[in-house]
Amino acid sequence: MTDTIPPAMREIAAAVTAVTDSFCARFLDDEYAALCRRMTAQLARKRPSPLSRGEPAIWAGGVLYAVGAINFLFDRQQVPHMPAQEIAARLGISSSTTGSKAKLIQDLLKLNPYDTAYCRRAILADHPYAWFVQVDGFMMDARTLPPRLLREAQERGLVPDIPLEDVQKAVAAREAKTKGRPKGSSPGPNPVSVPREDGKHPQPSASKDQLSLDV
């Protein structure tokens, strides 16, 4: 992944990644570390890169916060779980600084609650918008397709390459959790807890990844 980072930005990106790698090794896991490296590399490739201004530890805090928000890290029911304030405290920076940096990252990378590029596999397995494909002009949930067609969609990169049994387990776990909630309660937090400046979250729409699957 470092090969895709401009040479002038590699040292700075490595400094940010060193902080996120260390943090994830101590408090989160390898999957979080990989997602943080991916986000840092994307920031480093922007022209001009925002990483060229500011301290690596502060950018690392923003990256951790942004990735964590997408993956419900702040939800106590998740494993691993960590409050947003704890990320900042363990990095020795203020929570307002990490929050504002995460908001900047969200704007720069155009992140929204329906993005899947930075989702953990467990989240992707039951993500409502990761499985849309177009079959004969109709949008469908690929998880409802026959196994042969689901595999074809995965091989073509239209949907996550996650075994069907893992997907079924994730759906069953979510349904079991939903049944245990009081009637009318919320099914869970928004995948991204950093809203736009107007306080609203963008609505889902078709994207270039939602392509046709011929049957």
Q: What is the pTM of this model?
A: 0.74
pLDDT tens profile 64-107: 999 999 999 999 988 999 999 999 999 999 999 999 999 999 99
Of the listed ranges 28-32, 42-46, 115-119, 194-198, the one predicted with least confidence: 194-198
Beta strands in 27-181 (DSSP E): 132-135, 138-141
Of the listed ranges 111-120, 138-147, 174-183, 195-204, the one predicted with least confidence: 195-204
**Which 8-state DSSP code applies to residue 204?**
P
pLDDT tens profile 158-212: 888 888 787 777 777 767 766 665 554 444 443 333 333 333 333 333 343 444 5
Instruction: Say what the pLDDT of residue 210 is.
Output: 43
Q: List own/partner pairs for 141-149 with CB under 8 A and 24 or more apart.
A: 142/213, 143/167, 143/171, 149/213, 149/215
Instruction: Say what the pLDDT of residue 149 is.
Output: 85
How would residue 2 be classed by pLDDT, with cut points 50, 70 and 90?
A: low
Q: Is the pLDDT at 43 greater than 80, yes or no? A: yes
CA-wise closest residue to 92 among 66, 67, 60: 60
* Average pLDDT of the chain, as a whole number: 82
**Which 8-state DSSP code applies to residue 199?**
S
Question: Dihedral (C-alpha) 161, 163, 169, 173: value to the nearest 10 degrees?
Answer: -10
109: CB partners within 8 A, 6+ apart: 39, 42, 43
Of the listed ranges 9-18, 88-97, 148-157, the one predicted with least confidence: 148-157
Instruction: Say what the pLDDT of residue 62 is.
Output: 97
Instruction: Say what the pLDDT of residue 161 is.
Output: 85
Give ∠ CA 189-195-196 in degrees, rounded to 5. 160
Contact 162, 124 (CB under 8 A): yes
Contact 105, 49 (CB under 8 A): no
Of the listed ranges 108-112, 133-137, 139-143, 206-210, the one predicted with least confidence: 206-210
CATH classification (class only), 2-109: mainly alpha
Q: Where are the domains of the chain?
A: 2-109, 121-179
Contact 72, 27 (CB under 8 A): no
How would residue 27 be classed by pLDDT, with cut points 50, 70 and 90?
A: very high
Contact 188, 72 (CB under 8 A): yes
Query: The tokens 């949930």 sit on which residue?
Result: 141
